Amino acid sequence: MTFAGLDVVARWLHLLGLLVWIGHNYANVVQRPRYQPVDPLDREAADELFAQAARREHGTFRYASLVVLASGLYMLWFRGIVAETLTLRGQFAVLGLGVWIGLLMTANLWFVLWPHQKKVLGFVPAPHAERVRCSRITFLSSRTNTILSFPAVFLMIAGAHAPMLF
Ligand code: HEM
């Protein structure tokens, strides 16, 4: 397959990865509109089936973020605009802002949400008070990515129009 053909596949994977990753965030907002501290008597959390489902669910959207990152970086590389975009130069500033938000969202997911989520879900043993503290952090981290997704989507799409705008 040519690099140009791979660029089409990358754009497709970028959108698919987004639908899974950001779709999960939006579903979260609908299912849990308000913060609920973890309940120590929550039998479900101790249930192996629940643990398996949670591992699958959290694994799927977490790795979808890496598909978004890799496909996005490939598209930047193929277009030869990595430096211009990351340094917000000229017409690439619009896409660049979107990319920096995208990178922030990916870091938030892997270095803030996931380490705390492992304790909330019981994948890493932790006392109840620590699980409650972590559930607050995962709630705020997830909501932050949900909010950041709005400007990210807008800037990524507007970035393709920038040559006509600037
Ligand atoms: C993680 C780092 C990311 C990088 C490096 C990246 C890079 C890119 C690039 C290079 C494009 C193609 C722009 C063009 O058509 O010229 C693009 C398109 C797009 N990106 Fe990203 N992106 C990232 C994350 C995200 C995130 C987190 C979102 C949404 C929350 C997002 C949403 C989009 C959308 C909606 C498009 C337009 C797709 C289309 O026109 O077909 N991207 N991205």
> Tens of pLDDT along 95-113?
999 999 999 999 999 999 9
Structure tokens at 4: 């140009």
Tally of domains within the chain: 1
In a domain, 66, yes or no: yes
- Residue 29 domain flag: yes
Gap between the Cα atoms of 98 and 81, Å rounded:
14
Higher-confidence residue: 35 or 117? 117
How far is Cα 98 from Cα 121, in angstroms, rounded to an integer?
Answer: 31
Residue 154: inside a domain, yes or no? yes
Residues near ligand 1 (Cβ within 6 A): 11, 14-15, 18, 22, 68-69, 72-73, 75-76, 95, 99, 102-103, 105-106, 149, 152-153, 156-157, 159-160
Rounded distance, CA 139 to CA 117, Å? 9
Q: 22: exposed, middle or buried (C-beta count within 10 Å: 0-12, 13-18, 19+)?
A: buried
Residue 113 belongs to domain spanning: 3-33+51-165
The rounded distance, in Å, linking the Cα atoms of 88 and 155 is 12
User: pTM score, two decimals?
Assistant: 0.89
